[in-house]
Chain A
Amino acid sequence: MTSGRESAFVLEASQLSKSYGERPALRELSLRLVRGRILGLIGPDGAGKTTALRLLAGLMRPDAGQILVSGVDVARRGAALRGLIGYMAQAYSLYGDLSVEENFRFFAAMLGVASREIPAMEERLLGLAMLLEHKKKPAGTLSGGMYKKLALACVLSHKPPLVLLDEPTNGVDPISRRELWAFLRELVDDGTSVVIATPYMDEAERCDEVALLVDGRIVAHDNPTRLMAEHQAGGEKGATFEDVFLALSEASSEKDEKS
């Protein structure tokens, strides 16, 4: 049993590349994340966010590069990862004929949550998702956003060191999005680390650091306040985070076209 060396980083990915057929989806991506932080992965549709998260979760092998999660090599330790990583896919599925609470209990047990801890987690997470009063409904009859929130509650039911979330709030209403972010903050205060892909710029602004992915490459990686400040120093007063995002992604795809 090697537990891996102790490292300040929960996640260390170096030089990851991945192509689908001829098409490169990720090019030499390197990322490091220290404990207790939220990293936002943003970028235009098709930039490679899902590909990156699937590699980090160990669901897909990179063509090149290495990933360590809590010092464990993801390529070699498939089964041990279950306790280390919580992953929510962009398209996920629950049991439509099982009720909300049955789904939650099933996934929590499968993810290794001790059975005596399940009721408290259930109260907390379904409460946060505003699903307590819908506990008995079959998941198949939930609205789009309620279904998404139930999936998220299931994934967060255990507290792994690293949580990977692929656009978890698409279709989730503004109130629940806020509740979710408050909950993520609590998790992170307890030492969990989060990588979250999101199309919402207000969520990107709530992250401790943001990596902007364009055409499979990281073109900027910094704290959101600093990204904003740098951009505003370039002239535009009153720029929003969305403006910064658009300017940076456009500048880098132009570069791509020239090279």
Chain B
Amino acid sequence: MTESTVIEVEHLSRLFGKFRAVDDISFSVTRGEIFGFLGANGAGKTTTIRILCGLLSPTSGKGRVLDIDIGKAPERVKPLLGYMSQKFSLYPDLTVSENLELYGGLYGLSSSRLAQRRAFAVEMAGLVGQEAVLCATLPLGFKQRLALGAALLHEPKLLFLDEPTAGVAPRARREFWTLIRSLASSGTTVFVTSHYMDEVENCDRIVLMSRGRIAALGTPTELKQGLVGRIVRIECGQEPARLARRLRAHEGVVDAQPFGSAIHLIVAPGLDPINHARKALAALEEQPRSVEVCQPTLEDVFISVVSGVAR
């Protein structure tokens, strides 16, 4: 473990009965990184986070978080990190201020430090002047920013965010990621899960989990590399959803999805994409307006990697 390594995981597994929720994963995270932890529902993301936060014990394998062995001293790691859980973490019937005081108390902050940190959190959440508002009535985007503020009260060096933007509208999501980026640039390490493939472009590195295992790991650019030249955009005008469904059944087509009036088609590796798309269309007696190769997105990567492993 080098000085800049914040998380180091080796052959970590967690079973529930006979079910392997986390199955022999290894990776490490360095200081100041935004580390995206992605994967299908049930892939083991939350379970991994709970282990790394010292809330759940691993069945086997090793994990060091901020230089502490989580198998041996999980209670020592808890106060050092910030954690926003996938389920709601604020009390709806308390005000903005009361929620922060409650968390500050849990972290054992002195009253002068709490006052100072509370002011920081309110400001960061964009809720100055709204300290007396009940959390239940805040729009979701603000609730999530406040929950982030609460997780940062004790100035942790490492932050776990489990789907912090689920259900948040586009503008508020962009603002949330601006906060994440500024935290990371000031040296906080951010471990984050999300099902929005557009926002995870902001991550420095990404893990793609599937069925408890790591199916891919790399920077967004590295992950997309494998699909360059394999994605075809078909302008078809009429009923893209129906045509996409029929194309999906065609051999050599990994996936076909409607995007507005067009279709994105992923061809199997080694095939000439345009030729193959044209062949598939001809077999269905369809005449598209245009067929061209396009740039892969992380969503394309997710679909091809995760469904490739699952099927």
Residues of A within 8 A of B (CB): 43-46, 90, 130, 134, 141-146, 149, 167, 170-178, 181-182, 185, 199-202, 205-206, 224-225, 228, 241-242, 245-246, 249
Contacts and interface: CB of A to CB of B under 8 A. Distances in A.
Interface string B242-282: 10010000000000011111000000000000000000000
Contacts of A172: 41, 195
A174 B303 contact: yes
A171 B163 contact: yes
A2 to B, nearest CB: 37
A45 B170 contact: no
B303 A175 contact: yes
A38 B152 CA distance: 41
B139 interface: yes
A24 to B, nearest CB: 14
Given A45-B142, A142-B42, A245-B170, 11 more contacts: A45-B169, A130-B42, A172-B41, A173-B195, A175-B40, A176-B41, A177-B195, A225-B261, A241-B260, A246-B171, A249-B171
Contacts of B141: 44-45
Contacts of B87: 144
B168 interface: yes
Contact of B257 (A45, A178, A246): A178
Contact of A182 (B42, B168, B241): B241
Contacts of B197: 174
Nearest to B87: A144
Contact of B40 (A144, A173, A185): A173
Describe A's contact surface by its main secondary structure. helix
A168 to B, nearest CB: 11
Given A45-B172, A167-B167, A176 B140 contact: no
Contact of B139 (A45, A185, A201): A45
Contacts of A245: 170
Contact of B170 (A90, A134, A176, A246): A246
B215 to A, nearest CB: 12
B99 interface: no
A232 to B, nearest CB: 12
Interface in B166-186: 166-173
Nearest to B241: A185
A57 B86 CA distance: 28
Given A143-B42, A146-B41, A170-B166, A44 B171 contact: yes
Given A149-B41, A172-B195, A175-B307, A46 B139 contact: yes
Given A145-B41, A182-B241, A174 B86 contact: no
B103 interface: no
Contacts of B306: 173, 175
Contact of A174 (B140, B169, B302, B310): B302
Interface in B135-194: 139-142, 163, 166-173
Contacts of B13: none
Contacts of A134: 42
Given A171-B195, A205-B259, A146 B166 contact: no
Contact of B168 (A90, A199, A228): A199
A171 B140 CA distance: 14
B42 A171 contact: no
A44 B168 CA distance: 8
A44 B302 contact: no
A19 B45 CA distance: 40
A212 B116 CA distance: 40
A144 B43 CA distance: 11
Nearest to B140: A45
Contacts of B167: 90, 167, 170-171, 199
Given A171-B195, A224-B260, A146 B42 contact: yes
A182 B40 contact: no
